[in-house]
Amino acid sequence: MRSLARAFYHRDVVTVARDLLGCVLVHEVGDVRVVGSIVEVEAYGQDDPASHAYRGMTARNAPMFGPPGHAYVYFTYGMHHCLNAVTGEEGTPAAVLIRAVEPIEGLEAMRARRPGIRDRDLARGPARLTKAFAVGPEHDGADLSMGALTIAMGERLAHDAVVATPRIGIDAAQDGRAWRFAVRGSEWVSGPRRLEAMG
DNA sequence: CAGAAGATCATCT
DNA sequence: GATGATCTTCTGT
């Protein structure tokens, strides 16, 4: 598998979000490798009131202003981590939230990390997938809040979003703000109600 | 310094 | 459909 080039992320956030569908998310911790196909994403652009960066740069959202292709991982609700891919021009805040992936490889590890959870729900949600994939300070060590974690750059890095042709169809929904995209008909997107909303 | 809200999830009715 | 968990981040004073 090949990592996505920086140029992939160096584009409009909505375009990148759409194109990330079907791409593969890979994370390795020691010998353990887990892989999943991205089935649901959400784009947060510069003028989006729902974006963490809407009111300018802060300590938390600084990675969103950084170079495309890096990760923006944030902690929320006192217990969850969420993973984003930074896109567009450096200096212009934009990122794609990875909302759900379909597990492909490393199911055993995912089950161990999320005991008692049905396979279908292992990575079906932005905070669920970070737990199944062990994305977070406790496993990555790096200072995630500074965007030190990098996805998809050809360099030797712990995190790689890998190329795969976007499969199936695409649906878009506008929450009034962030653009959400999901693989049409996928059983692995985060929530039946959301699917319905996407028509 | 206090207060509120949060790109969520699991669990319950 | 509603609620509690749990704590960081941001805002206003």
Helix (H/G/I), strand (E/B), else coil: A55: coil
Nucleotide lying nearest to A42, CA to C1' measure = B7
CA pair distance A179, A41, nearest whole angstrom: 8
Nucleotide lying nearest to A44, CA to C1' measure = B7
> What tokens appear for A129 in the block?
């997938």
Contacts of A78 (CB under 8 A, 6+ apart): none
> Strands (DSSP E) along A30-178, which ranges?
32-44, 71-76, 80-86, 95-105, 159-162, 170-174
Nucleotide lying nearest to A83, CA to C1' measure = B7
Query: What pLDDT score was predicted for residue A147?
Result: 41
Nucleotide lying nearest to A78, CA to C1' measure = C7
Query: What pLDDT score was predicted for residue A102?
Result: 92
- Whole-number Å distance, CA A195 to C1' C3? 24
Considering only CA atoms, which residue is closest to the C1' of nucleotide C10?
Answer: A58
- Whole-number Å distance, CA A48 to C1' C11? 19
Determine whether the distance from the CB of A123 to the nearest atom of strand B is below 7 Å.
no
CA pair distance A126, A199, nearest whole angstrom: 21
Determine whether the distance from the CB of A113 to the nearest atom of strand B is below 7 Å.
no
Backbone angles phi, psi at A182, to 5 degrees: -145, 155
Q: Is residue A123 within 8 Å of A133, Cβ to Cβ? A: yes
- Angle at the Cα of A101 (from A99 to A107), degrees rounded to 5? 135
Instruction: Give the H/E segment covering residue A181.
Output: strand A179-183
Nucleotides of B under 7 A from a protein CB: 6-11
Taking CA atoms, A124 is separated from A10, A16, A76, A90, A145, in Å, by: 27, 20, 17, 30, 23
Per residue of chain A (199 residues), give pLDDT as tens: 667 888 889 999 999 988 888 888 888 888 888 888 888 999 999 989 899 999 999 999 999 999 998 889 999 999 999 999 999 999 999 999 999 999 999 999 999 999 999 999 999 999 999 999 999 877 765 544 434 344 433 333 334 444 444 444 556 655 556 788 888 778 898 854 444 444 4
Determine whether the distance from the CB of A87 to the nearest atom of strand B is below 7 Å.
no
Helices (H), chain A: 6-9, 13-20, 62-65, 107-113, 126-132, 137-140, 192-197
